Chains A and B, each alone.
Chain A
Amino acid sequence: MTTLSLMATRTWSRLPRRHVPVLATLVLLLVLYGVGVSQYRAFSNVQVVFNVFIDNGFLLVVAVGMTFVILTGGIDLSVGSVVAMTAMVSAFLLREGLPAALVLLTALLIGPTLGFLMGCVIHFFDIQPFIVTLAGMFLARGMCTFISGSSIPITDGFWTRMSQERIGDPSGNFVSISVLVAFVVVAVAAYTLAYTRLGRNVYAIGGNPQSALLMGLPVGRTRIAVYTISGLCAAIGGILLSFYTLSGAPLIAVGMELDVIAAVVIGGTVLTGGSGYVFGTVLGVLVLGVIQTLITFDGSLNSWWTKIVIGGLLFAFILLQRLIGIRYK
C-alpha cells in the first residue's frame, strides 16, 4: 500500500528537464547554420564548419575545463591569462633555444600547478572561487608582461609543423592538429564526467556540497582537482593558441575567460552547478563560432556585433534555465 502512495507523490514530469537547455542549444545551432546556408551559397561548404573548429579549437579545450569548474558551482576567471602565459612561456623558452619537447612539458605544467594552488586556497581557506581566480588572473597576466612587454615570434620547427599540418579528405577539406587535440580532450572529459568517480563527485558537489560531504565524498580533493583540470585545459589551450598564431603575446586572450563562461552557459551548464554536459559545451562553442562566421560572411557588420548577439543569447539562456526550474539551491 505504501509503495503505491509513494508512487503517487512524484511531482515532476517524466521528461528530464536537465536535457532541455542542451536541446535548446542544439536547435539554436541548427537554426543559425540554416540561416547561414540560406543566405550565403558558400556557407554550405563543409570547410566552413571545419574552419569554425580550427578557429575555436583552443576555446573549446578551455571551455571543457571551465565546464568541470562550473559543474561544481565554482568559476575560474584565470583561464584567459593562463592561456596567454602558456603561449608566452613557450615562445620565450623556444627563443632561448630549449628543445621543443622540454618546452612543451614545461608549458603544460604551469597551468595545472597554478590551478592546483588556487584550488587549495579555495578549499583550505574557504574563499570564494571568484576572488581567488581573479587574483590568479592578475598574477598570470602580470607574468606575461614580466617575460616580455612585446610579442615573441615562434620559429621552432615542431611548432610550425603543428601549425601548418593539414589533415584532410580527398576533396580538399581539412582540419588542423588543434582540432584533433580538442576532440581528444572533449572525449576524455566526457568519459571522465560520465564514468569515473571524480566526474560523478563533481556533479554531486555541484548539486549540494553539504550533502556530498555528509555522504562521505572527497569534496576537498574534487574541488582542487577541478581547478587543476581547468588549469591543464587552459595550458593545452595556450599551446594550441601558440600553434595557431605562432607567437606569444602578452595581451592576447584578454577577456577570453568571459567568452568561455558564455559558451559553457549557452551550452546548458547551470552556473550554480550540478547540471550540464561536455556535449553542451561543444554546442555552446559552436554557436559562438557560427555567429562569428555569419558576421564575417556578411562583411558589412562590425565584429562587435558578435558580442551583442552573444550578450542577447546569454540573457535568453539564463532566463530559460530559470523558467524550466533548474535551480537546486
Chain B
Amino acid sequence: MTGSHPVLTMTGISKSFPGVRALDNVAFRLFPGEVHALMGENGAGKSTLIKVLTGVYGTDEGTVTLGGEQVSFTGPMQATAAGVSTVYQEVNLCTNLSVAENIFIGREPRRLGAVRWSEMRRRARSLLARLDLDIDVNAQLGSYSLAVQQMVAIARAIDIEARVLVLDEPTSSLDAGEVAQLFRVMRQLRDDGIAILFVTHFLDQVYGIADRITVLRNGQLVGEYATSELPQLGLVEKMIGKELRVLERLDEHPRHDPADRAEGTPLLDARELGRRSAVAPFSLTIHEGEVVGLAGLLGSGRTEVARLLFGADRADHGSVRVHGSPTSLRTPVAAIARGIGFCSENRRAEGVIAELSVRENIILALQAARGWLRPVPRRRQDELVERYVRALSIRPADPDIPVGNLSGGNQQKVLLARWLITEPRLLILDEPTRGIDIGAKTEIQRLVAQLSDGGMAVLFVSAELEEVLRLSHRIAVMRDREMVTQLTNDESVDADRIMQSIAAGAGQEGMPS
C-alpha cells in the first residue's frame, strides 16, 4: 500500500485570509491505493487544504506535486482534468437537471457535437448499478433525497478517471446503511488503485476504513500516522491538543431529575399544532429549565417542528400558549418578542451573515429586539461580545474579522452567542452540533446543560441520539412528519428504545418490494 511513490505530495503549504492564518507550512502525502483520513477540529484547516488541492484557492507558499510533476491548479476544472475529483459535504450538483446529466455533464458522450442522450442514460444506469443504486436516471435530481444526491455525486466523481478522490465529509447526511454502502464502494476504488482522501467527523468511520491518518490543528500539521498504530483516544488528543478532561467532565454531569421540572404552567404549550404537507398536528409542552430533545431521522419533520414553534413557518392548525396566555406565533418577530430564540440548522444560508464581523453578528438579535432607534452602546457591545467570545471560545478571538472567515464550528458558536445575549426564555437549537468537531461539540453540550440549570428552556433538535439522551429531560420522537411518542428521559430510556420508536412501523409503509 505504501510502497513506491506517493501520487500526491503537498509541501510547505501556507494560506492566509484577512485576519486568519488558515494553513501554516502544512505537508501532506497520499499514496495510490490507500484511504487516508484528514482529521482535525473545525478551523484546523482541513477545508482550506482541500480547497488548495482542488484549485478553489491558490496558495501563498508551498508546492503541490501530482504524479511526480509539480502542478498549480487555478480552478476545479483543471484539478478534475488532472485526475483530482472531489465530492463535497454539501452536494454540489444541479437539482434542476436529470440524474444522468448530473453524472455526465461536462463530459457527455457525443457524436458530431450532439449529446447522445440514450448512451448517456445507459452509462448512468450501469454506473449507478455499481453503487447498488436503483433510481430513475431521467428524473430530476431535486426529486431525490440528499443521501441519494450524495451517491450521485460520488458516481460522478468515480466516472471521471480519477487518480485522487477527495471525499469531504460525504457521510454527514447518510444513515448507517448508506455509509456501509459508501464504504464498500470506497474499498473497491481503493483496490483499483485510486488514492482516497477522506474527511469526516465520525471517529468510528475513520477506524472503519482509513489506512492512514493525517492530523491538523490550528492550521498546522500535527503528524501522519498509520491507523493501526494510533488508538482512538490518542487521535482525539492529537486533534484537540489537550487531555480529555473536558469530555469526561460532561459525562459526569448528572442526568437531571426530570420530575421537578415538569410542574406549574408550562413556558410553551403547543396544542395540536400542525401545518399541511410539513408536519402532522402535535402537542408539546416545554417548562422552564427543561431540555426537550427532538429525535428522528433526517427528513422526519424535526426542523419543521422547530420552525413552527419559532413562527418561521405559519401553522394552519392548532394553538400555542406562552406562559399560559394564548398567542399566535405567526412570524419570527412575534416569537422573539415572547422570548423565543432559534438557531437554524442551516447556518450558512439562514444564520450568520458572512460579510459582517463577529461583533456585528453577535449584536444583531439584541439590536433587533431593542429597535434600531436605540443603538447598543459601544462599551456594552464590547463587554458582551468579549464575554461570549471567551465563554464559547470562539476562535480566532478577534471580534472584528468577518464571520465568513471563521470555520463552521466557530460560526455556529457566533450564532449561539447572538441568541444567548438576548436572554431568551426558550432557545430552539436545530442541529447545533452538526458538522462540528468533538471539542466544540462538548462545549456546546455543556453550555446547554448550564443554560437549563439557569432556568432557560431548550428545545434541542439533533440527529445524534447519544447527545439527545445525554442532555434532555424529555425526548419527543419524530417519524414521517409525525410526532410518534414522547418519553421522559429516566433510566429506562436508552438509544435502543428511541431507535425502536423511530423504526416501529417504518418497515411496512413506503417500501417498494
Query: Which residues of A come within 8 Å of B, CB atoms?
Result: 1-12, 14, 16, 18, 191, 194-197, 200-201, 203-204, 206-208, 210-218, 274-275, 328
Contact = CB atoms under 8 A, between A and B. Distances in A.
Given A10-B145, A18-B140, 15 more contacts: A5-B175, A6-B144, A9-B147, A12-B140, A16-B140, A196-B113, A197-B106, A208-B92, A208-B94, A211-B91, A214-B86, A216-B81, A216-B106, A217-B77, A274-B96
Given A2-B180, A204-B97, A206-B96, A214 B76 contact: yes
A215 B56 CA distance: 12
Interface of B: 56, 75-77, 79-81, 86, 88, 91-97, 101, 105-106, 108, 110, 113-115, 132-135, 139-140, 142-145, 147-148, 151, 156, 175, 177-178, 180-181, 299, 510-512
Contacts of A211: 91-94
A11 B277 CA distance: 11
Contacts of A191: 114
B95 A215 contact: no
A18 B95 CA distance: 12
A11 B300 CA distance: 12
Given A10-B144, A11-B145, A328 B95 contact: yes
Given A8-B511, A12-B143, A217-B106, A1 B95 contact: no
Name which of B95, B110, B156 has the most chain A CB atoms within 10 A of its CB: B95
Nearest to A197: B108
Given A6-B133, A200-B105, A214 B143 contact: no
B76 A204 contact: no
B180 A12 contact: no
Nearest to B178: A2
Contacts of A206: 96
Given A203-B94, A203-B96, A2 B144 contact: no
Contacts of A195: 114-115
B135 A7 contact: yes
A207 B145 contact: no
B96 A201 contact: no
Contacts of A7: 134-135, 511-512
What 8 A-B pairs come out closest when comparing CB atoms? A207-B94, A207-B96, A9-B145, A12-B143, A274-B96, A216-B77, A2-B177, A211-B92
Contacts of A218: 77
A251 to B, nearest CB: 39
Contacts of B134: 3, 6-7
Contacts of B180: 2
Nearest to A274: B96
B71 to A, nearest CB: 15
Contact of B147 (A1, A6, A203, A207): A6
Given A4-B512, A203-B94, A213 B76 contact: yes
A211 B86 CA distance: 12
A218 B181 CA distance: 32
Contacts, number: 122
Contacts of B156: 215
Contacts of A194: 115
A249 to B, nearest CB: 40
A5 B79 CA distance: 34
A210 B142 contact: no
A215 B147 contact: no
A197 B104 CA distance: 11
29 contacts: A2-B181, A3-B133, A4-B512, A5-B177, A5-B511, A6-B178, A7-B134, A8-B510, A10-B148, A14-B139, A18-B140, A195-B115, A196-B114, A197-B110, A200-B115, A204-B94, A204-B97, A207-B94, A207-B96, A208-B92, A208-B93, A208-B95, A208-B96, A211-B91, A212-B94, A214-B88, A216-B76, A216-B79, A217-B105
B512 A214 contact: no
A197 B132 CA distance: 29
Contacts of A217: 77, 105-106
A206 B143 CA distance: 17
Contacts of A200: 97, 101, 105, 108, 115
Nearest to B509: A8
A265 B416 CA distance: 42
Given A9-B299, A16-B140, A196-B114, A214 B92 contact: yes
A321 to B, nearest CB: 13
Contacts of B77: 216-218
A200 B110 CA distance: 13
A296 to B, nearest CB: 39
A12 B148 CA distance: 14
Contacts of A197: 106, 108, 110, 115
Contacts of B512: 4, 7-8
A299 B173 CA distance: 63
Contacts of A1: 177
Contacts of A274: 94, 96
Contacts of B133: 3, 6
Contacts of A11: 143-145
A11 B88 CA distance: 23
B89 to A, nearest CB: 12
Contacts of B299: 9
Contacts of B108: 197, 200
B101 to A, nearest CB: 7
A9 B510 CA distance: 8
A9 B144 contact: yes
Name which of B77, B80, B134, B175 has the most chain A CB atoms within 10 A of its CB: B77
A328 B86 CA distance: 23
Contacts of B145: 6, 9-11
Contacts of B80: 216
Contacts of B139: 10, 14
A211 B113 CA distance: 24
B88 A18 contact: no
A10 B510 CA distance: 10
Nearest to B299: A9
B96 A275 contact: yes
Contacts of A5: 175, 177, 511
A10 B138 CA distance: 13
B96 A18 contact: yes
A212 to B, nearest CB: 7
B114 A328 contact: no
A239 B491 CA distance: 82
Contacts of A2: 132, 177-178, 180-181
Contacts of B86: 214
Contacts of B105: 200-201, 204, 215, 217
B76 A12 contact: no
A2 B180 CA distance: 9
